[in-house]
Homo-oligomer: A and B are copies of this chain.
Amino acid sequence: MKETITIKTLAKELNISISTVSKALNDSYEISIETKQKVWDLAKMLKYNRNPSASNLRSHKTKTIAVIIPEIANNFFSQAINGIEEVARQRGYHVLIYQTHENTDQEIAFTDSLLSGRVDGILISVSSDHDNRDHFTALVKEIPTVFFDRVYEDIDAARITTDDYESAYNATSYLVECGCKKIAYLFALNNLNAGKQRMSGYQDALKAHQLAYREELTVNYDKDADLNYQNIKDLMLNERPDAVISSIEDLALPCYYVCKELGIHIPDDLKIISFSNLNTAPLLNPSLTTITQPALEMGRQAAAILFKILDKKHFEPNEWLTLKSTLIKRDSTACH
């Protein structure tokens, strides 16, 4: 470690005052272009780097945003972060990552700690383990926050989602058109609006096609993976549906396994459609049709909204954007 170089160093070297250097570095209009140039040149030569802590302390701007998500190692979220990071980068912002692992207590700890002024804004996709939003009401008043994908509608903040209802509705209709009569539903995220919307879309589509919604055709997600497996197996044994819609990838997988175990052939005996954002679609088992959310785009847009708020420095009537999902049909699930 060598001696650190500060604006003081530059000032001394150029025989000008510290404040002049500071202003020059900030491209202030009160400084002559020649002086600025001299400062910039020397700064570059000496590889000067502004000390962010000192700068933040004075200016109350951190050039940093936080992203709070349930899980990084999830295709949807990692793609969303990709989009967020891309936009943040363009603006010269830094991106902090926090994973809740679907734990509300952890989420509360994060949001509380972010009240310290460590970041200028927050992007968050809420944890699914509780329907608890108390910690957000205070947060959104203190610091610009954008909710994405997993949102609470009754929090007064900007938010961006996908068309959960419509996509589930369309997927269900599609299965009906394929001739399916007994469409099961693997239900997750039931604490969240997204989960509820997907379920409603499924139910309404059934109704629209004169098919009855039956609770026995539904499996509720459980943290216990073994239990999920067993429940799905029971569903298959007791009801033998001819199609399944899964609200998350994590339920489509055990379903796939169950079929393997029971010798149920996909898609001839059973068609599966799952909400999924695997970026390796072509490698997927061709019998799985997916409802794919525009994760990258959502990340970009969410960040864009946040920066819009940050730019205005005051809170706008909060935006609510909805992006469209895509039903990606693999060959072998296509209607015949």
Query: What residues of chain A have their CB less than 8 Å away from a CB belonging to chain B?
Result: 1, 4, 47, 49-54, 56-57, 62, 64, 71-75, 78-79, 81-82, 85-86, 89, 94-99, 112-113, 115-118, 142, 249, 252-253, 256-257, 278-280, 282-286, 288, 296
CB distance from A263 to the nearest CB of B (A): 15
- Chain B residue with Cβ nearest A106: B89
Main secondary structure of the interface of A (DSSP, over half): mixed
Q: Which B residues touch A86, using CB under 8 A?
A: 99
- 19 pairs from A and B in contact (CB 8 Å cutoff): A47-B112, A47-B115, A50-B116, A52-B117, A52-B118, A53-B53, A53-B56, A53-B62, A53-B117, A54-B57, A71-B82, A72-B72, A72-B82, A73-B75, A73-B81, A73-B296, A85-B97, A85-B99, A278-B283
Instruction: Contact check, B116 vs A51: say whether CB atoms are below 8 A apart.
Output: yes
Instruction: Contact check, A284 vs B282: say whether CB atoms are below 8 A apart.
Output: no
Q: Give the residue of B64, B97, B117, B282 whose beta carbon is less than 8 angstroms from that of A253.
A: B282
Instruction: Contact check, A1 vs B142: say whether CB atoms are below 8 A apart.
Output: yes
Q: Which B residues touch A249, using CB under 8 A?
A: 280
Bound CA span A283–B274, Å: 12
CB distance from A327 to the nearest CB of B (A): 18
Bound CA span A99–B89, Å: 9
Bound CA span A82–B113, Å: 20
- Most B-side CB within 10 Å, residue of A52, A56, A73: A73
- Chain B residue with Cβ nearest A116: B49
Bound CA span A7–B81, Å: 35
Q: Which B residues touch A56, using CB under 8 A?
A: 53
Closest A-B pairs by Cβ, 7 of them = A49-B116, A53-B56, A53-B57, A78-B78, A73-B82, A73-B78, A73-B79
CB distance from A296 to the nearest CB of B (A): 8
Do A95 and B94 form a contact, CB below 8 Å, given A51-B57, A57-B57?
A: no
CB distance from A15 to the nearest CB of B (A): 25
Q: Give the residue of B57, B97, B280 whose beta carbon is less than 8 angstroms from that of A95.
A: B97
Q: Which B residues touch A89, using CB under 8 A?
A: 99
- Chain B residue with Cβ nearest A280: B278
- Chain B residue with Cβ nearest A114: B49
CB distance from A330 to the nearest CB of B (A): 11
- Chain B residue with Cβ nearest A76: B73
Q: Which B residues touch A283, using CB under 8 A?
A: 252-253, 256, 278, 284-285, 288
